């Protein structure tokens, strides 16, 4: 697979597009507005410039990467893609709408993938007429740096599809690919989100300060980042969406999103991207 489509040019989508183009693939980013498409390209340009400045990438390689990247607002421009990766916001109905539109424009052999962090993949796969060719491909932020990608097969994903995507992620992108079944949260978030939510509950109860909670987990467990700093980095809205998805799937009390998390999202305190979360930026 060398012709790749990416839907959504935000932080995750731009990162996915960058690593694919850097690996030699021809990449098209689809956005809903031209200004968003232009912003997506600028994100990739900025990331590549930073890599060049740190001597992690040559200017020639950066220029070649950009030469393999196009942006568009027209679904028809994805018609010749071999793999399309959706990286839209974590809204189930939005993803289903996207997959229905994709299904109508791409070829019969095209593989459709979702970068969802927690929504069961089958819920978007059944919005298409090719659920056996739909797979989860969960990258982690920042995509150019993080080595892991989760490959999620639904109950109907065929082996050929999962194997082809795993091969692309591992052999072309050079990432570590792990396989998981189609349960909310997959591997990483199924373990991570309850831990993050417990840290919020501990803070909300007055048991310990944000600074002490983070320092304890860094110093006591060797984690590179404390849980509350990590939530600010991920985004409180994304953390909330993942927690809601886990709770909807398993209905276990410890998976319920903390009230404080909901209130902070309602207040627009989303972490680093909004300038304020559990810390100010």
Q: Report, as residue numbers or ranges, the catalytic residues.
A: 117, 138, 150, 189
d(CA 231, CA 17): 24
CB 104 within 8 A of CB 150: no
CB 37 within 8 A of CB 5: no
Q: Which residue has the tokens 């056996």?
A: 132
CB 90 within 8 A of CB 118: yes
d(CA 92, CA 209): 35
d(CA 95, CA 86): 8
d(CA 175, CA 168): 9
Q: Which residue has the tokens 């959504």?
A: 8
Structure tokens at 64: 């070649």
């Amino acid at each position: 697979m060398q012709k790749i489509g990416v839907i959504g040019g935000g932080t995750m989508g731009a990162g996915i597009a960058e690593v694919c183009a850097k690996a030699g693939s021809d990449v098209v980013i689809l956005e809903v507005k031209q200004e968003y498409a232009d912003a997506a390209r600028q994100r990739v340009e900025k990331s590549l410039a930073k890599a060049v400045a740190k001597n992690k990438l040559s200017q020639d390689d950066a220029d070649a990467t950009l030469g393999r990247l196009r942006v568009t607002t027209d679904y028809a421009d994805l018609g010749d893609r071999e793999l399309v990766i959706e990286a839209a916001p974590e809204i189930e109905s939005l993803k289903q709408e996207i997959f229905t539109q994709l299904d109508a424009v791409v070829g019969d052999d095209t593989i459709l993938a979702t970068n969802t962090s927690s929504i069961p993949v089958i819920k978007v796969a059944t919005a298409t007429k090719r659920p056996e060719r739909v797979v989860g491909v969960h990258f982690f932020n920042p995509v150019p740096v993080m080595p892991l990608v989760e490959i999620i097969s639904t109950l109907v994903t065929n082996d050929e599809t999962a194997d082809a995507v795993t091969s692309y992620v591992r052999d072309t992108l050079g990432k570590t690919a792990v396989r998981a079944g189609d349960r909310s949260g997959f591997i990483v978030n199924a373990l991570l989100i309850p831990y993050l939510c417990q840290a919020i509950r501990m803070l909300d109860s007055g048991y310990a300060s944000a600074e002490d909670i983070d320092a304890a987990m860094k110093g006591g467990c060797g984690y590179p980042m404390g849980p509350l700093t990590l939530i600010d980095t991920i985004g409180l809205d994304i953390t909330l969406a993942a927690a809601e998805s886990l709770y909807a799937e398993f209905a276990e009390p410890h998976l319920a999103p903390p009230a404080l998390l909901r209130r902070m999202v309602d207040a627009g305190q989303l972490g680093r991207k909004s300038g304020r979360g559990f810390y100010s930026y």
